[in-house]
Structure 1
Amino acid sequence: MPGWVEHAMWWHVYPLGFVGAEREALAPDAPPAHRLGHLTAWLDYVVELGLSGVALGPVFASATHGYDTLDHFRIDPRLGTDADFDAFVAAARSRGLRITLDGVFNHVGRGFERFADVLRDGPGGPADRWFHLTWPDGAGPGTEPGYRDFEGHHALVALDHDSPEVVDHVVRVMTHWLDRGVDGWRLDAAYAVPPAFWARVLPRVRAAHPDAYVFGEVLHGDYAAVVREAGFDAVTQYELWKSIWSSLNDGNFFELTWTLSRHDALLDTFVPLTFVGNHDVTRLASRLTDPRHGLHALALLLILAGTPTVYAGDEQGLRGVKEDRAGGDDAVRPTFPPTPAELVPGGWSVYHRHQELVSLRRRHPWLHRARTQVLTGTNRTLVLRQHAGDEALLVALSIEDEAVTLPVPGASGTLAGDGTLRATGDRGQLELPPHGWAVLAT
């Protein structure tokens, strides 16, 4: 993993939704819509939040939602032009912010050039090697073959990852945009791509860009094995995401402590990409049954080991429920106002709490690889010790309806939260109000 990632914390943005782009691609003869400046206007907001980079969702030319790519080498005209993108990169760089892009390399849209060649030329053409195709008897030019798609979505044509042409194409795409100034890649649907494909691609990319950060979207399974076999720096920690909100909702911190034992074990191989919200899931504020527990989740995100990611809007307490239907992502991918000054007032208290905990994380970069020791655990109270070498912090959480006093051995002061230390040192005692939390120095 590149050394700079120890200090990385991302603001994750879904650009097409953020800027209010059309649902479908612009007509071929339509001028581009120069909307990336809308996102540039929020970069100071990201800096003031304390985060160190922007993790962009899809920005390449696509048919609809960004994940049906038409051209990996062209910025989506609904967002702007290459020049607009270069200006955005320069603006981020001038503020010390890094950038990752969303690489959709498991599948493409039906209008992708090589698949258009297949539909035009029929069987036997060089583009056949890019896809998993089955041709009907007597097929000729203009015949549509059967093809493997992505999870039953017929508009998403799966690439053939055994094809040398596909390997070469993905290497060219990744290298091209790293050459243009980005710092890394999120690999979409990496769980659907054979790890051996990435093992062929990534060494060639890293030969030109050894400091690039590459993480894969993996939902479940043996995360460490995938990292070893594919050569990723990290994968998305969905187990921890689920355990955080589920344990808070169910009043069952034992679920979380079990997950933390698995999380700790991952650190022997890699440091996961951690989050409590993203563009594919119901927002945290809507997921939690008790809104007071949003800060508990945030404290866990920023104190536990990992490379933390804040999904744009969660730092304002935005709500949104993902639904399994056409347009079901819209509520979690809303349009943002032209500038932060136009946000509704109610979310700024949540923003300031994010600032507080992001600042704490920046002062303790060793938390990136910190191990977790459970000091006290019940269904509804939890005290964790995060430690690395001689460094340590404590995190205390309660979702009880009454005030509680918890043992916090070694505590020397309160760094964040709303707890009150009644005693310090080996016999440390912390009083938490109902549904309270605190981060403690040792």
Structure 2
Amino acid sequence: MTSPQPTPYRPIGRIPVLEVSPVVEGGRWPAKATPGEVVPVEATVFREGHDAVNATAVLFGPDRRVHSWAPMDDVAPGLDRFRGFLQPDAEGDWSFRVEAWSDPYATWAHDASIKVPAGQDVELMLTEGARLFVEIITQRLQKRRSRADAELLAQVAAELADTTRPPEARLAMATQQAVREALRRIPLRQQMTPSATYPLRVHRRLALAGSWYEMFPRSEGATQRRDGTWRSGTFVSAAKRLPAIAAMGFDVVYLTPIHPIGTTFRKGRNNTLDAQPGDPGSPYAIGSPEGGHDAIHPDLGTERGFKAFVAEAHANGLEVALDLALQCSPDHPWVTEHPEWFTVRADGTIAYAENPPKKYQDIYPLNFDRDPQGIYAEVLRVVRVWIDRGVTLFRVDNPHTKPLDFWEWLLAQVHATNPEVIFLSEAFTKPAMMQTLARIGFHQSYTYFTWRNTKEEVEEYLAEVGGEQGAVMRPSFWPTTHDILPPYLQAGGVAGFAVRAVLAATGSPTWGIYSGYELVENVPRPGVEEQIDNEKYEYKPRDWSRADDLGIAMLLGRLNEVRRAHPALQQLRNITVHTTTNDQVVAFSRRVRAEHLPAAGRPGATQDDVVLVVVNLDPHQAQESTLLLDLEALGLARPDGTEDQPFFAVHDELSGQTFGWGAHPYVRLDPQQQVAHVLRVDPA
């Protein structure tokens, strides 16, 4: 591993460019994006004196050539903070920088707009303006202007020099909005000063936006014999569930570990230490004489059967994710073949996993400080075995309990040969660890969303994950997992499950559910936040016909359908939280401007894609609220700045209803009928 290097000295430059974002540790690691993602770029730009400055964000493709550039706006007047938006269109290692420059047109327009009406230096100001526009129309970039822009700017140059016209008319001609827009598209830049160039790694689209469905393949098709023992489901029986998962619009089917399971200290039902004959054990207690992390549990089938499952998933439009849990049962081959990979206690026994007061006697954790070279190489080999078998995503179990330098190495090795492979970090831990796992290469991360329930908590968290943090840590929102059943869902019933599904599906571009969500499985094991009769320790076949009566499966399918139809819901850093007058009602929107919409998805689109979500957080009672909408965030503010509030139409993508709204609409949501509005906003 190379050691960190100090940031090289860089002169401040003629026009300072400071505090550029998104930049991770001074460029030590790349910021992240996906093709088509709108990337906000910010910098602090200023200069001495009173002359105007401006800035441009420049995007370089993997070939190091300029791909595109975007004008930046001063978004915090007085604080000199500028923002622009870049949009890569292919995977690879891109880069960007900010170029600051003196803006002679803005300086002249400001001064002339004050002096000419006041009768000060009128002809001098207009003559200087004429000279400025001659420079504008003779610059090399004039050839790149549209014909309309070039003709307009040439006309301005001529009229400014025409002393027979009234001064006010000449000034008005030179400062009209069309001229400002033309010079925004291709400005006259002087004393250009670039920032450093920073890395931007562009992963495939599924790294940012997708929907996951978790399942235990051994439960699908499991049957109980007359003597009470069980016959495991197989890859063949589990594959029969794939069409239904695909019909609900999911992109990924995620399998918990499918490896042989140890028998030593095997856990019984509900995590007891008294396993009964036939108890299958936790799939996280990996390894038996039949094999370890590269092996397949014989009850599930063979390697050929697994590949057939993957092929069937692909036929249904699904990719396959696999749990990567780097721990061993006492029966794992590594225990006898590589005892140096484990911690040996003073009494000669191998230390099992503990998180006091919790004990996991059926699991031995790896000790990465003992023969790291051997462990690193073996884990990489195992990952590549599964990639060769068709796995394209890994959900990594507890990565925060393994060394960060190991993950940085492993993820770099896989990226070098298989950049399409995606890693999801399951690290419910301290923010510094979660965010650093993201910095060093994890594509996605589980989040604290599961425990954010109140209006204040939800609003704060949506803004947090959709802010600057989103340049590195892509959130994956899960209402439940096989380990977690939060109190809100224990008491919320069908409506509670619907509320959390809407928030997860619209609050993050990536979300997932654990199998059984459609059946509103919400009975906890006493004293803990997990389900009774937990599937980790037993077979759990389900009667899927019951899902039709509850309506959650239909809601999941509709949410995924809406997500695919709206590019705004496939972005992360485009969220705005709106004010409501009820502490049980939360409202937020996502917007993608027309110029950033994918041409293939919306050919000839001239209208922004805007989705407004309004959710009743109370799963038991109807709630009413007035919404105080941020019209500018919705793209509805009047361009002339007048205070007249527009009327517009909103179409509810869940109910099919259309409403005529203004800036302060009234809503009422009854959880027995509809827990949320997911609204397409259409300007009137």
TM-score, normalised via structure 2 length: 0.55
Q: Post-superposition shift, 1:16?
A: 3.2
CA distance in 2, matches of 1:49, 1:210: 28
User: Which stretch of the first structure deviates more once superposed, 32-41 or 264-273?
Assistant: 32-41
CA distance in 1, matches of 2:557, 2:233: 31
| 2:50 match | none
SS of 1:204 mapped into structure 2? helix
| 2:332 match | 112
Q: Post-superposition shift, 1:91?
A: 0.9
| 2:670 match | 434
For 2:417, which of 205, 208, 211 is the aligned residue?
208
For 1:232, which of 428, 442, 455 is the aligned residue?
442
Give a deviation string over 1:183-202, Cα, whole Å, max 9, x none. Answer: 11111111211211111212
More helix by share: 1
| 1:336 match | 541
CA distance in 1, matches of 2:396, 2:483: 14
Query: Contact 1:150–1:157 (CA<8 Å) still a contact in 2?
Result: no
Q: Post-superposition shift, 1:421?
A: 5.8
User: Which stretch of the first structure deviates more once superposed, 71-80 or 383-392?
Assistant: 383-392
Query: Contact 1:11–1:54 (CA<8 Å) still a contact in 2?
Result: yes
SS of 2:653 mapped into structure 1? strand
| 1:141 match | none
For 1:81, which of 293, 302, 311 is the aligned residue?
302
State the one-letter code of the partner of 1:412.
A
Q: Post-superposition shift, 1:254?
A: 1.1
1:283-432, aligned counterparts within 5 Å?
Answer: 286-289=489-492, 291-322=494-525, 330-331=533-534, 335-337=540-542, 340=544, 343-344=545-546, 347=549, 349-370=551-572, 371-377=574-580, 378-389=582-593, 390-399=608-617, 401-402=621-622, 404-407=624-627, 408=629, 412-417=649-654, 423-424=660-661, 426-427=662-663, 429-432=665-668
| 2:389 match | 180
Aligned alpha-carbon RMSD (Å): 2.8
| 1:270 match | 473
Q: Post-superposition shift, 1:146?
A: 4.1
Cα 1:362/1:322, change in 2 over 3 Å? farther
Query: Contact 2:548–2:554 (CA<8 Å) still a contact in 1?
Result: no
Q: Post-superposition shift, 1:166?
A: 1.0
State the one-letter code of the partner of 2:614.
A
State the one-letter code of the partner of 2:669.
P
SS of 1:258 mapped into structure 2? helix
CA distance in 2, matches of 1:6, 1:193: 24
For 1:255, which of 441, 444, 457 is the aligned residue?
457
Q: Post-superposition shift, 1:114?
A: 2.1
Query: Contact 1:7–1:362 (CA<8 Å) still a contact in 2?
Result: no
Q: Which runs of 5+ in 2 are unaligned?
A: 1-202, 225-230, 263-280, 594-607, 637-647
Cα 1:6/1:399, change in 2 over 3 Å? closer
Give a deviation string over 1:36-65, Cα, whole Å, max 9, x none. Answer: 111100111011111112011111111221
CA distance in 1, matches of 2:285, 2:243: 31
State the one-letter code of the partner of 2:564.
R
SS of 1:86 mapped into structure 2? helix
User: Which stretch of the first structure deviates more once superposed, 403-412 or 83-92?
Assistant: 403-412
Query: Contact 1:58–1:102 (CA<8 Å) still a contact in 2?
Result: yes
Give a deviation string over 1:163-220, Cα, whole Å, max 9, x none. Answer: 2111111101111100111111111111211211111212122222110011111102
Cα 1:33/1:316, change in 2 over 3 Å? closer
1:10-29, aligned counterparts within 5 Å?
Answer: 10-20=212-222
State the one-letter code of the partner of 2:541.
F
Q: Which runs of 5+ in 1 are unaligned?
A: 23-31, 118-126, 137-143, 248-252
State the one-letter code of the partner of 2:325.
V
CA distance in 2, matches of 1:303, 1:233: 19
CA distance in 1, matches of 2:487, 2:316: 28
SS of 1:200 mapped into structure 2? helix
Cα 1:86/1:418, change in 2 over 3 Å? closer
Cα 1:81/1:373, change in 2 over 3 Å? same
CA distance in 2, matches of 1:207, 1:267: 24
Give a deviation string over 1:357-398, Cα, whole Å, max 9, x none. Answer: 110011124423333212124421122122344432111123
Cα 1:93/1:433, change in 2 over 3 Å? closer
State the one-letter code of the partner of 1:423.
G
CA distance in 2, matches of 1:285, 1:398: 13
Q: Post-superposition shift, 1:281?
A: 1.3
Larger relative contact order (Cα-Cα within 8 Å, sequence gap ≥ 6): 1
Q: Post-superposition shift, 1:349?
A: 1.9
Q: State yes or no: 1:68 paired with 2:291.
A: no
Query: Contact 1:277–1:311 (CA<8 Å) still a contact in 2?
Result: yes
Q: Post-superposition shift, 1:35?
A: 1.4
State the one-letter code of the partner of 1:155.
D
Cα 1:317/1:284, change in 2 over 3 Å? farther
Query: Contact 2:218–2:234 (CA<8 Å) still a contact in 1?
Result: no
Q: Post-superposition shift, 1:414?
A: 2.3
| 1:91 match | 312
Query: Contact 1:374–1:384 (CA<8 Å) still a contact in 2?
Result: yes
SS of 1:423 mapped into structure 2? strand
Q: Post-superposition shift, 1:13?
A: 0.8
State the one-letter code of the partner of 2:466.
D
CA distance in 1, matches of 2:532, 2:381: 31
CA distance in 1, matches of 2:493, 2:350: 48
SS of 1:330 mapped into structure 2? coil
SS of 2:502 mapped into structure 1? helix
Query: Contact 1:61–1:69 (CA<8 Å) still a contact in 2?
Result: yes
Cα 1:441/1:39, change in 2 over 3 Å? same
User: Which stretch of the first structure deviates more once superposed, 427-436 or 59-68?
Assistant: 427-436
Q: State yes or no: 1:133 paired with 2:372.
A: no
State the one-letter code of the partner of 1:44.
P
CA distance in 2, matches of 1:345, 1:197: 43
> Could you say which structure has the larger radius of gyration?
2
State the one-letter code of the partner of 2:507.
L
CA distance in 2, matches of 1:55, 1:21: 22
Cα 1:347/1:161, change in 2 over 3 Å? farther
Cα 1:277/1:403, change in 2 over 3 Å? closer
Q: State yes or no: 1:53 paired with 2:252.
A: yes
Q: Post-superposition shift, 1:419?
A: 9.4
Cα 1:116/1:269, change in 2 over 3 Å? same
TM-score, normalised via structure 1 length: 0.82
Give a deviation string over 1:75-108, Cα, whole Å, max 9, x none. Answer: 1122122121111111111222100000111x21
Q: What count of residue pairs does the alignment treat as equivalent?
A: 402
| 1:122 match | none
Q: State yes or no: 1:153 paired with 2:377.
A: no
Give a deviation string over 1:233-286, Cα, whole Å, max 9, x none. Answer: 11111x11110xx32xxxxx1121122232223312131122111111127884
